[in-house]
Amino acid sequence: MLSVALLTALALSGCMRRPAPAAMVRPHNDLDALAYGGPRAAAPPPVVRRDMRNRPSRTAVPVVYAAPPPPVVHDPAYRLDAGDRLRIVVYGQEGLTNTYLVDAGGSITMPLIGAVAARGRTPAELSAAIAARLRNGYIREPYVAAEVEAYRPFFILGEVAAPGQYPFVPNMTAESAVAIAGGFSPRAKRDRVTLTHTDARGTVRLVVPTTTLLSPGDTVLVNERWF
């Protein structure tokens, strides 16, 4: 009788045993880490670039792009003369907008109004003169703009490899003019040149160092050294 009761108690205790609760495993992604405060997932391994032979390539060198050169700023006080090439824009008038060359007489010739004096005038003064001519019986309210498209050439003579006439470049010095003409000859005097300059005040001739800035139309004479 005692053994039957013992067996019954053992059977009942086995039936009432419950399984242990399973542990909850939280996914380890960034959103869950933010929500639960758990650790974030490890960062992905860095991508290693390989060359055509499947070898790890070297660290890429950053490419530095040079900024474009600043645009040339024309001197608004520049006085025009023969040989200057101008861009004249008459807004709304395609037949008048064009490129004009200041001729040997110091004028430009435009449709409708003919010759307009340019020598000795600034581009702004020339624009005003053209507008006044157009306003006199052609266009009620003309709007005219003028700018130098190409300056008149300079001249270089004397002891250089290729004396002659060359296009003027803004910020040009006598030294750079010599370089454009092919450099000094073996007999050249290299520290100073004779510069001839003409403007509204007249013509002057000066002996100047080679670092002197030139103007359109100037003549540079490279002298011969005597020793």
pLDDT of residue 44: 53
Q: Quick one: what percent of the chain has pLDDT higher than 90?
A: 60
For 222, which DSSP code?
E
Own/partner pairs for 91-100, CB < 8 Å, 24+ apart? 91/142, 91/143, 91/144, 91/145, 92/143, 93/139, 93/142, 96/134, 99/149
Query: For 25-81, what is each residue's pLDDT tens digit?
Result: 444 444 334 333 444 445 555 555 555 555 555 544 444 444 443 444 456 689 999
Query: For 171-180, what is each residue's pLDDT tens digit?
Result: 999 999 999 9
Cα gap 182→225, rounded to integer Å = 18
pLDDT of residue 226: 81
Cβ neighbours of residue 76 under 8 Å, at least 6 residues apart?
122, 123, 124
Q: What is the mean pLDDT of residues 6-29?
A: 46
Q: What is the mean pLDDT of residues 86-111?
A: 95
pLDDT of residue 58: 52
For 131, which DSSP code?
H
pLDDT of residue 30: 42
pLDDT of residue 15: 45
For 85, which DSSP code?
E
219 pLDDT higher than 80: yes
* Residue predicted with more confidence, 4 or 25: 4
2 pLDDT higher than 80: no
Write the CA distances from 123 to 14, 75, 132, 199, 212, integer angstroms.
111, 10, 14, 15, 25
Q: What is the mean pLDDT of the chain?
A: 78
112 pLDDT higher than 60: yes
pTM comes to 0.62
